[in-house]
A and B are shown apart, each in its own frame.
Chain A
Amino acid sequence: MTRMTAPDISSPRPPSQIARRFKRVASVVLALFATFLGLLLVTFIIGRVVPIDPVLAVIGERASQAQYEAAREALGLDKPMWQQFGIYVWNALQGDLGQSLLTRRPVAEDIARVFPATLELATIATIFGILAGIPAGVLAATRPGSWIDQLVRLIGLMGYSMPVFWLGLMGLLLFYGMLGWVGGPGRLDAVHEMMFELEVRRVTGMILIDTALAGQWEMFRNAVSHIILPAGVLGYYSMAYISRMTRSFMMNELSQEYITTARVKGMPEWRVVWVHALKNVMVPLITVIALSYANLLEGSVLTETVFAWPGLGLYITNALFSADMPAVLGGTVVVGLVFVGLNMFSDVLYRLVDPRAK
Chain B
Amino acid sequence: MSLLSVKNLRVTFDTESGRVEAVRGVSFDLGRERLGIVGESGSGKTMTGRSVLRLIRPPGRIEADEMTFDGIDLIRASERKMRSLRGPRIAMVMQDPKYSLNPVMKIGRQLTEGLRLRDRIGAAEARKKAIEALEAVQIRDPERVMEAWPHELSGGMGQRVMIAMMLIPNPDLLIADEPTSALDVTVQAEVLKILDDLVKTRGMGLIFISHDLRLVARFCDRVLVMYKGRVVEEIEAGNLMAAKHPYTQGLLNCLPRIGGAREPLPSLDRSGAWAEM
Using CB atoms and an 8 Å cutoff, list the residues of chain A in contact with chain B. 1, 3-10, 256-258, 260-268, 271, 276, 279-280, 283, 353-356
A257 in contact with B99 (CB, 8 Å): yes
Cα–Cα distance between A353 and B104 once the two chains are bound (Å): 8
| Any A CB within 8 A of the CB of B114 | yes
Partner of A264, one of B53, B140, B157: B53
Given contacts A7-B141, A257-B100, A283-B104, 13 further A-B contacts (CB under 8 A): A3-B138, A4-B138, A9-B148, A258-B101, A264-B91, A264-B92, A265-B91, A266-B87, A267-B117, A271-B117, A276-B105, A280-B102, A356-B151
Residue of B nearest to A257 (CB): B99
Cα–Cα distance between A353 and B149 once the two chains are bound (Å): 12
Question: Within 8 Å CB of A7, what residues of B?
Answer: 139-141, 144-145, 153, 157
B14 shortest CB reach to chain A, Å: 12
Question: Within 8 Å CB of A280, what residues of B?
Answer: 102-104
| Any A CB within 8 A of the CB of B86 | yes
Using CB atoms and an 8 Å cutoff, list the residues of chain B in contact with chain A. 50, 53, 55, 83-88, 91-92, 94-96, 99-105, 113-114, 117-118, 138-141, 144-145, 148-149, 151-154, 157, 162, 165-166, 190, 193, 197
Question: Within 8 Å CB of A256, what residues of B?
Answer: 99
Which of A7, A257, A258 neighbours the largest number of chain B CB atoms within 10 Å of its CB?
A7
Question: Within 8 Å CB of A9, what residues of B?
Answer: 144-145, 148, 152-153, 157
Q: A279-B102, A280-B104 are in contact. Are A266 and B83 (CB under 8 A)?
A: yes
Question: Within 8 Å CB of B102, what residues of A?
Answer: 258, 261-262, 276, 279-280
Question: Within 8 Å CB of B113, what residues of A?
Answer: 265, 267
Residue of A nearest to B152 (CB): A9
Question: Within 8 Å CB of A262, what residues of B?
Answer: 102
Cα–Cα distance between A266 and B168 once the two chains are bound (Å): 13
A349 shortest CB reach to chain B, Å: 14
Question: Within 8 Å CB of B92, what residues of A?
Answer: 260, 264
Partner of A356, one of B91, B141, B149: B149
Cα–Cα distance between A9 and B150 once the two chains are bound (Å): 10
A269 shortest CB reach to chain B, Å: 8
A4 in contact with B139 (CB, 8 Å): yes
A265 in contact with B104 (CB, 8 Å): no
Question: Within 8 Å CB of B154, what residues of A?
Answer: 8
B84 in contact with A266 (CB, 8 Å): yes
Cα–Cα distance between A99 and B13 once the two chains are bound (Å): 69
A279 shortest CB reach to chain B, Å: 5
Cα–Cα distance between A258 and B91 once the two chains are bound (Å): 14
Question: Within 8 Å CB of B95, what residues of A?
Answer: 257
Question: Within 8 Å CB of A268, what residues of B?
Answer: 83
Residue of A nearest to B134 (CB): A7
A266 in contact with B104 (CB, 8 Å): no
Residue of B nearest to A10 (CB): B152
B104 in contact with A257 (CB, 8 Å): no
Question: Within 8 Å CB of B88, what residues of A?
Answer: 266
Cα–Cα distance between A9 and B154 once the two chains are bound (Å): 7
Cα–Cα distance between A262 and B55 once the two chains are bound (Å): 11
A264 in contact with B166 (CB, 8 Å): yes
B162 shortest CB reach to chain A, Å: 8
A264 in contact with B55 (CB, 8 Å): yes
Cα–Cα distance between A160 and B140 once the two chains are bound (Å): 55
Residue of B nearest to A1 (CB): B193
Cα–Cα distance between A354 and B102 once the two chains are bound (Å): 12
B96 in contact with A257 (CB, 8 Å): yes
Cα–Cα distance between A271 and B105 once the two chains are bound (Å): 13
A266 in contact with B103 (CB, 8 Å): no
Residue of A nearest to B114 (CB): A265
A258 in contact with B103 (CB, 8 Å): yes
Q: A264-B86, A265-B165, A267-B113 are in contact. Are A258 and B99 (CB under 8 A)?
A: yes
A263 in contact with B104 (CB, 8 Å): no
A41 shortest CB reach to chain B, Å: 41
20 contacts between A and B (CB under 8 A): A4-B139, A7-B153, A8-B153, A10-B152, A257-B95, A257-B100, A258-B102, A258-B103, A260-B55, A261-B94, A261-B100, A261-B102, A261-B162, A264-B55, A265-B114, A266-B88, A267-B113, A279-B105, A280-B104, A356-B103
A6 in contact with B141 (CB, 8 Å): yes
A6 in contact with B140 (CB, 8 Å): yes
Cα–Cα distance between A8 and B141 once the two chains are bound (Å): 10
A3 in contact with B140 (CB, 8 Å): yes
B86 in contact with A4 (CB, 8 Å): no
Question: Within 8 Å CB of A257, what residues of B?
Answer: 94-96, 99-100
A200 shortest CB reach to chain B, Å: 44
B114 in contact with A267 (CB, 8 Å): yes
B103 in contact with A355 (CB, 8 Å): yes
B148 shortest CB reach to chain A, Å: 5
Cα–Cα distance between A208 and B104 once the two chains are bound (Å): 37
Cα–Cα distance between A327 and B53 once the two chains are bound (Å): 66
Question: Within 8 Å CB of A353, what residues of B?
Answer: 104
Question: Within 8 Å CB of A271, what residues of B?
Answer: 117
Which of B95, B102, B149 neighbours the largest number of chain A CB atoms within 10 Å of its CB?
B102
B199 shortest CB reach to chain A, Å: 15
Partner of B138, one of A1, A261, A267: A1
Question: Within 8 Å CB of A356, what residues of B?
Answer: 103, 149, 151
A264 in contact with B104 (CB, 8 Å): no
B4 shortest CB reach to chain A, Å: 16
Cα–Cα distance between A4 and B113 once the two chains are bound (Å): 26
Question: Within 8 Å CB of B114, what residues of A?
Answer: 265-267
A8 in contact with B138 (CB, 8 Å): no
